[in-house]
């Protein structure tokens, strides 16, 4: 009888492929992916079974702008948001898979890798559909936004950092299920590395007769990754971002590293508003959801720091 291998879900943040002021060339994205994967290959060396997820915000934004340009200049019909998310899953998954295979070859590792276009189920009655908040795509003038709202029924909100700038907003409902989660679990536990739930997954809902229908929305990648980790029985969840730790009083003179946290203290800090809603709070909720569902450990750290175990904030049910 062989020992059971640990199963980890690793959620790669947007900076795993695109960073800072980079414009998003394929060379930039490949170099960033390579650096990120070098930092997590030790999990393969240590015998972990792995599922990788990833963000797609900048890439979907670029796809939407290509949509605009194609329609305006060449009369090419625009594709809906679910197709754009699916496109990004394929492209980003391909980059990660190819870089991962090359890194494993370099280190003498032999594991199969598969990228899975993943549909994630949402509730069509989720309150998020009546209050779109997620900004996507390019910035428009007020006149352009008004015309698109009239032509396409899109909703827009003003950009706070740009005068006369408006961006489309779409719903961001909570994930409640994954269409092919059993495939992901089976392949991962066979030792194959699975890239899944890219960009939070393609948002779909189940209609009155049980058919799968697309939802014009986006799903939070960390919440979807946390749910996937729980549903496939993962032991650990890693959320890779652009900071090496969770900080208390982030950005202030008395900023303090929080390296080890238990569930109770983490919930207390979250409730007090310690973590910003636009950045760290959703990641903290994803980690807590995973721990609540029986996960052993959640880790939040910078994408290139994972290999150095002195970095990273660890959240567990109880801290000894």
- Residues marked active site are found at 14-15, 134, 221, 283
Residue 80 dihedral angles phi and psi, to the nearest 5°: -70, 170
Q: How does DSSP assign 283-319, residue by residue?
A: HHHHHHHHHHTT-SEEEEEETTTTTSTTSSEEEESS-
Q: Tell me the C-alpha distance between 16 and 95, whole Å.
A: 11
Q: Tell me the C-alpha distance between 136 and 202, whole Å.
A: 15
Q: Tell me the C-alpha distance between 53 and 41, whole Å.
A: 15
Q: Tell me the C-alpha distance between 218 and 270, whole Å.
A: 24
Residue with tokens 């030792």: 191
Task: Read off the tokens for 85.
Answer: 């998310």
Task: Read off the tokens for 57.
Answer: 């915000």
Instruction: Give me the residues paired with residue 168 across strands.
Output: 136, 156
Map residue 10 onto helix, strand or coil: strand
Residue with tokens 């066979």: 190
Q: Hey, how many other C-beta atoms are within 10 angstroms of the C-beta on 249?
A: 10
Q: Is the dihedral of CA 53, 292, 219, 259 positive or negative?
A: negative
What are the residues whose beta carbons fall under 8 Å from the beta carbon of 158, sequence distance 6 or more? 165, 166
Q: Where are the alpha helices (DSSP H) in the chain?
A: 26-45, 57-74, 81-106, 142-152, 181-189, 221-231, 263-271, 280-292
């Amino acid at each position: 009888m062989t020992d059971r291998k640990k199963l980890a879900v690793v959620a790669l943040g947007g900076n795993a492929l695109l960073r800072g002021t980079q414009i998003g060339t394929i060379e930039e994205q490949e170099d960033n992916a390579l650096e990120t994967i070098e930092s997590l290959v030790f999990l393969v060396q240590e015998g972990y079974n792995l599922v990788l997820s990833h963000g797609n915000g900048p890439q979907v934004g670029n796809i939407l702008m290509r949509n605009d340009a194609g329609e305006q200049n060449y009369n090419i019909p625009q594709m809906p948001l679910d197709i754009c998310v699916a496109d990004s899953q394929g492209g980003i998954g391909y980059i990660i898979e190819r870089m991962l295979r090359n890194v494993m070859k370099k280190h003498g590792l032999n594991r199969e890798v598969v990228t899975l276009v993943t549909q994630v189920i949402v509730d069509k009655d989720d309150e998020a559909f009546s209050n779109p908040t997620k900004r996507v795509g390019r910035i428009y003038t007020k006149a352009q936004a008004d015309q698109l709202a009239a032509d396409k029924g899109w909703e827009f909100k003003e950009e706070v950092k740009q005068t006369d700038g408006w961006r489309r907003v779409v719903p961001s409902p909570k994930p409640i299920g994954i269409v092919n989660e059993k495939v992901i679990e089976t392949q991962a536990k066979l030792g194959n590395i699975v890239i899944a739930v890219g960009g939070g997954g393609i948002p779909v809902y189940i209609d009155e007769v049980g058919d799968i229908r697309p939802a014009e929305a986006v799903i939070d990648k960390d919440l979807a990754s946390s749910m996937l980790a729980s549903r496939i029985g993962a032991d650990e969840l890693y959320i890779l971002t652009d900071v090496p730790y969770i900080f208390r009083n982030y950005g202030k003179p008395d900023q303090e590293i929080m390296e080890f946290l238990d569930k109770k203290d983490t919930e207390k800090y979250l409730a007090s508003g310690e973590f910003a809603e636009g950045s760290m709070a959703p990641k903290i909720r994803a980690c807590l959801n995973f721990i609540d569902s029986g996960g052993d450990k959640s880790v939040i750290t910078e994408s290139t720091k994972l290999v150095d175990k002195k970095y990273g904030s660890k959240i567990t049910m109880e801290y000894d």
